[in-house]
Amino acid sequence: MTKDVMDAIRERRSIRHFAPDSVDEFTVGRILEAGASAPSAGNIQPWTFYAVFRQDIKDRLSKAAYAQESLISAPVVIVVCALPEDTAARYGERGRSLYCLQDTAAATQNILLAAEAFGLGSCWVGAFEETAVAAALGCARGERPVALVPLGFSAGEKPQPPARYDLSRTVKILH
């Protein structure tokens, strides 16, 4: 039983402390399918996803991410990589520097929401040394790691929703 999409959007929080319980590969597969279902410019799908279960690689990812502990304690870390040249081949510079990153951001958000729908905690980790992450994964040339997503059962952490600006500040309605 998974959650309604609006509930998942409302209830998702960044989780950074994980229980040692493993996450089964079937569920990880469903979450990756959600990532791969994201929209992308021209449907180019300029991404690859790594699902890292190996502790030694998770340790290296954590080192590359300024020792963020969530990447060590999570039973699995998903790494979203962008393929900028795939998008550039059709859309030039705008494809390389904008569409490709928008596409992989959409895929990352789908992953976070699918994790929430399956009752798992996750966090979008963007602070890391790209070259160190690429080396830990053995990325091919042209694969650019853009997001790390530790995934697992929350170790009891239930963060309060951080404040968001009121819509009256962020929405501009033009009739």
Q: What span, in angstroms and rounded, lies between the C-alpha atoms of 107 and 151?
A: 15
Helix ranges (DSSP H) in the chain:
5-11, 25-36, 55-64, 70-73, 84-94, 100-117, 130-137, 167-170
Name the residue among 139, 134, 138, 150 with its Cα closest to residue 64: 134
Closer residue to ligand FMN, CB minimum distance, 16 or 58: 16
Q: What span, in angstroms and rounded, lies between the C-alpha atoms of 9 and 5?
A: 6
Does 127 contact ligand FMN by CB under 6 A? Answer: yes
Q: 147 - beta bridge partners?
A: 80
Closest chain position to ligand FMN (CB): 126
CB of 89 to ligand FMN, least distance (A): 26
Does 14 contact ligand FMN by CB under 6 A? Answer: yes
Closer residue to ligand FMN, CB minimum distance, 19 or 89: 19
Among 92, 119, 126, 142, binds ligand FMN (CB under 6 A): 126
Name the residue among 39, 43, 146 with its Cα closest to residue 97: 146
Residues numbered 130-159 forming contacts with ligand FMN, rule: CB under 6 A: 159
Nearest 5 degrees, angle CA 76-CA 81-CA 82?
160
Find the part of the chain contacting ligand FMN (CB under 6 A) among 8-16, 36-44, 113-121, 133-141.
Answer: 8-16
Find the part of the chain contacting ligand FMN (CB under 6 A) among 1-9, 53-61, 117-125, 129-137.
Answer: 117-125
Does 124 contact ligand FMN by CB under 6 A? Answer: yes
Closer residue to ligand FMN, CB minimum distance, 42 or 153: 153
Q: Enter the tokens of residue 127.
A: 């602070």
Residues contributing to the site for ligand FMN (CB under 6 A):
13-14, 16, 68, 123-127, 159, 162
